[in-house]
């Protein structure tokens, strides 16, 4: 029997790829996204029972409204995947209030808001999967806020797992790196910041053009494996890295 899987940031990238994979596997996917037109188009592509719900995870009111909408059709959630994230290079000194707040409120606080809303709808055997980043282990220049948000998310995962273990709810981080996807949208970065980011990486011995990149469909295989773990097993952390061909 398929599972009910809520995916935040489902309108593009990894979130969209997971939705397509899980729907193909027979799961019911609930697609959350800040831009409703994107998740609605994906739900139409996948067909019933896929459900598109507008949700800005950085807003507690938006999260509450989204999960109230979900509960009308799916009162029980089997899996929540906190995938929504903001990723933008800038130095701390030049970061605006809006940039700093957007990254922390989306990547960390947003995941907390969604977990808080989902837990009452979960039961023994349900799962929360938080999408982490390889940049925690290998920090990049001009991504300190992004890395801090993802490091905080990993620590939140560890604490929440202990909190929910008595209820039989598993919590896991899947730490992912760069991925390739046909038709992937280019990030809407400031051109000057993007150039300085690449130059800073090169100065630290990291050539972004030579880094191995995973196929996004391969990464969805990892999430599938985590979701399908035997009930007597828990995995709290998975790191996914690309191999050189």
Domain ranges of the chain: 4-239
Residues 100, 88 contacting (CB under 8 angstroms): no
Active centre residues (catalytic): 146
131-143 pLDDT per residue, tens? 999 888 877 888 8
Q: How much is the pLDDT for 204?
A: 67
The DSSP code for 107 is: I
Beta strands in the chain (DSSP E): 4-8, 28-33, 51-54, 79-82, 127-133, 170-176, 179-180, 214-215, 237-239
54-107 pLDDT per residue, tens? 999 999 999 999 999 999 999 999 999 999 999 888 899 999 999 999 999 999
Q: Which CATH number fits domain 4-239: 3.30.360.10, 3.40.50.11540, 3.40.50.720, 3.40.47.10?
A: 3.40.50.720
Q: How much is the pLDDT for 217?
A: 87
Q: How much is the pLDDT for 186?
A: 61
Residues 140, 93 contacting (CB under 8 angstroms): no
């Amino acid at each position: 029997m398929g599972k009910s899987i809520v995916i935040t940031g489902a309108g593009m990238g990894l979130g969209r790829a997971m939705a397509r994979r899980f729907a193909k596997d027979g799961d019911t996917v609930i697609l959350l996204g800040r831009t409703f037109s994107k998740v609605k188009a994906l739900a139409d592509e996948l067909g019933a029972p896929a459900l598109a719900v507008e949700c800005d995870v950085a807003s507690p009111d938006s999260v509450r409204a989204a999960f109230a909408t979900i509960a009308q059709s799916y009162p029980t959630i089997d899996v929540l995947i906190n995938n929504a994230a903001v990723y933008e290079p800038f130095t701390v000194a030049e970061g605006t209030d809006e940039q700093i707040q957007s990254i922390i409120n989306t990547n960390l606080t947003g995941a907390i808001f969604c977990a808080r809303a989902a837990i009452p709808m979960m039961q023994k055997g349900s799962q929360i999967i938080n999408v982490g980043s390889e940049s925690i282990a290998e920090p990049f220049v001009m991504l300190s806020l992004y890395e801090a948000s993802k490091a905080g998310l990993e620590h939140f995962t560890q604490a929440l797992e202990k909190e929910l273990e008595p209820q039989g709810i598993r919590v896991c981080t899947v730490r992912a790196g760069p991925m390739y996807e046909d038709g992937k949208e280019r990030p809407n970065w400031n051109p000057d910041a993007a150039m300085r980011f690449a130059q800073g990486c090169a100065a630290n011995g990291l050539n972004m053009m030579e880094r191995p990149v995973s196929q996004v469909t391969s990464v969805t295989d990892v999430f599938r494996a985590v979701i399908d773990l035997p009930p007597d097993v828990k995995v709290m952390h998975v790191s996914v890295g690309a191999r050189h061909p």
